[in-house]
Amino acid sequence: MASEFPSPFRGGKDPLAAQLEKFVEKLDLLRPEKNGPAYLGKSGALSYAYPDVKNVTVPQEMGDLDAVLDDVVKLFEGAPNWGHPLTMCNVIPQSNTAAIIASMLSQVFSANILEGEYAWNVHRAELETAGMLGNMFDWNPVNTGAIYTYGGGGCWTYGLKYGLTRVLTDSRNKGIRTDAKVICSQQAHYVQQNATDWLGLGMDNIVHVRTDVATNQMDLGHLEELLRDFAAQGVPVATVVCTMGTTDASAFDPIGKVREVMDRHPNPEGFGKAVLYADAVVGWSWIYFKDYDFDTNPLQFSDRILPVLKANGQAMRELSYADAVGIDFHKVGWAPYVSSCFLYQNATEFESIHRRGADAYLQARTPYNPMYYTLEVSRTASGSLAGWATLKYFGKEGMQAVLGGILESKYYLYDVLSAHPDMVCVNPDDSGLITLFRVYPKDVDAKVQYGRELNDPAMRSDLIKHNRLTEAVGNKLFEWFRAGKQIDGKHTPYMSFSTGFRDACYNRDGTDAEAVVYALKSFPMNVFITPETMKWALRCVEEARDEVLNA
Ligand SMILES: *Cc1c(COP(=O)(O)O)cnc(C)c1O
């Protein structure tokens, strides 16, 4: 079997590097010709039947390396091609070259970042991530902590756990016996449910702060009311979550002001201080514009987007007020999965209050041994290497160029869309990369019609009718993308839609499940998207609408 493993020594025949090159090339052959469809390989169809696909056994005999790897490559037939100019479906980036390679390299010698002995110098990636980002957040970099973990969901869970440990000081031993609250906005990500459920706090202990209709930001008056009432009732708050960039609307909660409100209404006596967690997994990278020189504008962004970049950078400056921040490099950081990082401002505190005793079979051989306080035991280095390589490779200017460049495309789409009478952008105030919009029948003035549907309860049935149209157009576009359909010899875009990114104005409490706004979604996440692609996407939306209405 020795010939089936990479050799521990130099020289001789070692298939690893050569095979890697060969199979990356084979994978690359799945890319389409120029102007081909936005999926890989020849067919966009699903190749298996569920659940029959599971009716399979381990082969009796040893396989052949090339044959097995050819089968791996085949699994990518039909997979989305995230770098394709027609791909704009969600917050899924094409990964940058440095991060892909760094993440792959982590597998060759299997660094385990649970502790120092098995990670050795590879731990620099996690430690220097803490330092680089701590500096960016205006924290003390040396006392900043970082834990690469299993997604933005993992970060949220860590943020909640931090609060539970700090506020319910005996909960690590006795269990959670007090209904502590976790407070987040109406727009917070649904992972709030995973975190409260799996940590045993219970989903009923989630408390929602109302959000402003126009800005989607947390309403500070309502937050203050909640904190005052809980304090008066003797009910502790474990964690307050500010979403710094909501998934659809890219809204930033006013975290600096939230900190002030929290300071005015501390937890009742006998409980620790509530943790302020910033869920910045989507929005974090706008912080790169915190210190951009807007006067000389060295990267020559257009006047159209300069004020937006400035406002986004200013909003993220307030991350300095958080106790902990979650960021996803695999979202608006152009790195592969999973490369999420949970950062905390006070490493001395976090690491001591979560500290567990020593394990008999692991010894501390270096000063950094996160296994004593992490949720996970073994942790792959792939996320930490991907994140760290991205920070070092892009630097500030590289990240600014990618983000700003894609934002130019978004505003181009917005401007073209505004000139289409049958379409209306429904998130015109959002400063992120997403455009949400609705398409109406040809003869309808979309802007007027939508305004009435949004505000007038008498127009509820029209709202619902056009929600159905939006959904049908969205599904038609997906069907076309998967079928490799062409219009005028060109492929159609891979987009998506939201079945309710906000409630109608007369449904502010959300009690009417149907009085919500559906919208088509363009979420450009790669640098190959051009103004032409954006124009073409709108043309395809109109074609899809016509086909749906004529069916
Ligand atoms: C995507 C997202 C999450 C979940 O992150 P994963 O990396 O998918 O686990 C949490 N919060 C927000 C705001 C998100 O957009």
Ligand 1 mean position to 279 CA, how many Å? 8
For the CA of 243, the nearest atom of ligand 1 = 13
For the CA of 152, the nearest atom of ligand 1 = 5
Please write the tens of the pLDDT for every residue from 371-385: 999 999 999 999 999
Backbone angles phi, psi at 399, to 5 degrees: -65, -40
Ligand 1 mean position to 340 CA, how many Å? 9
Contacts of 83 (CB under 8 A, 6+ apart): 94, 526, 527, 528
Which of helix, strand or coil describes residue 133? helix
Q: For ligand 1, atom 2, name the residue with the nearest CA.
A: 152
Ligand 1 mean position to 243 CA, how many Å? 10
Which burial class, exposed, middle or buried, applies to 194 when counting CB atoms under 10 A from its CB (0-12, 13-18, 19+)?
Answer: middle
Ligand 1 mean position to 380 CA, how many Å? 20
* Residue 462, Ramachandran bin (φ over 0: left; ψ between -120 and 50: alpha; else beta): alpha
Regions of the chain where pLDDT drops below 50? none
CATH level 3 topology of 419-550: Aspartate Aminotransferase, domain 1 (3.90.1150)
Q: For ligand 1, atom 14, name the residue with the nearest CA.
A: 247
Domain with CATH 3.40.640.10 in the chain: 117-401
* Residue 35, Ramachandran bin (φ over 0: left; ψ between -120 and 50: alpha; else beta): left
Q: Of 398, 473, 439, 375, which is closest to residue 153 (Cα–Cα)?
A: 375
Strand 423-425 versus strand 181-185 pairing type? unpaired
Ligand 1 mean position to 232 CA, how many Å? 33
Q: For ligand 1, atom 12, name the residue with the nearest CA.
A: 189
* Residue 11, Ramachandran bin (φ over 0: left; ψ between -120 and 50: alpha; else beta): left
Q: For ligand 1, atom 10, name the residue with the nearest CA.
A: 152
Ligand 1 mean position to 459 CA, how many Å? 34
Domain with CATH 3.90.1150 in the chain: 419-550
Q: Which two tokens stand for residue 456?
A: 């007038």
pTM summary value: 0.97
Please write the tens of the pLDDT for every residue from 11-45: 877 789 999 999 999 999 999 999 999 999 999 99
Which of helix, strand or coil describes residue 439? strand
Confidence (pLDDT) at 139: 98
CATH level 3 topology of 117-401: Aspartate Aminotransferase; domain 2 (3.40.640)
Which residues are paired to 209 by β-bridges? 185
Q: Are 329 and 335 in contact (CB under 8 A)?
A: yes
Please write the tens of the pLDDT for every residue from 226-280: 999 999 999 999 999 999 998 888 899 999 999 999 999 999 999 999 999 999 9
As a whole number of angstroms, the distance between CA 537 and CA 196 comes to 40
Radius of gyration of the chain (CA): 25
As a whole number of angstroms, the distance between CA 117 and CA 85 comes to 44
Q: For ligand 1, atom 11, name the residue with the nearest CA.
A: 189
Best mutation site among 148, 217, 247, 337 for ligand 1, i.e. most ligand atoms within 8 A of its Cβ?
A: 247
For the CA of 338, the nearest atom of ligand 1 = 7
Q: What would the DSSP string read from start to end of 49-100? A: -TTGGG-----SS---HHHHHHHHHHHTTT-B-TTSTTB-SSS-PPPPHHHH
Best mutation site among 157, 182, 241, 282 for ligand 1, i.e. most ligand atoms within 8 A of its Cβ?
A: 282
Ligand 1 mean position to 441 CA, how many Å? 35
Best mutation site among 182, 191, 193, 433 for ligand 1, i.e. most ligand atoms within 8 A of its Cβ?
A: 191
Ligand 1 mean position to 187 CA, how many Å? 12
As a whole number of angstroms, the distance between CA 408 and CA 366 comes to 46
Q: For ligand 1, atom 15, name the residue with the nearest CA.
A: 247
Distance, C-alpha 306 to centroid of its chain: 24
* Residue 25, Ramachandran bin (φ over 0: left; ψ between -120 and 50: alpha; else beta): alpha
Confidence (pLDDT) at 300: 98
Number of residues written out for the chain? 551
Best mutation site among 90, 150, 186, 189 for ligand 1, i.e. most ligand atoms within 8 A of its Cβ?
A: 189
Ligand 1 mean position to 251 CA, how many Å? 14
Q: Of 528, 83, 154, which is closest to residue 336 (Cα–Cα)?
A: 83
Q: Show the ligand 1 pocket: residues with CB < 6 angstroms.
A: 151-153, 156, 189, 191, 243, 246-247, 279, 281-282, 328, 340
As a whole number of angstroms, the distance between CA 380 and CA 71 comes to 25
For the CA of 245, the nearest atom of ligand 1 = 13
For the CA of 330, the nearest atom of ligand 1 = 7
Ligand 1 mean position to 153 CA, how many Å? 6
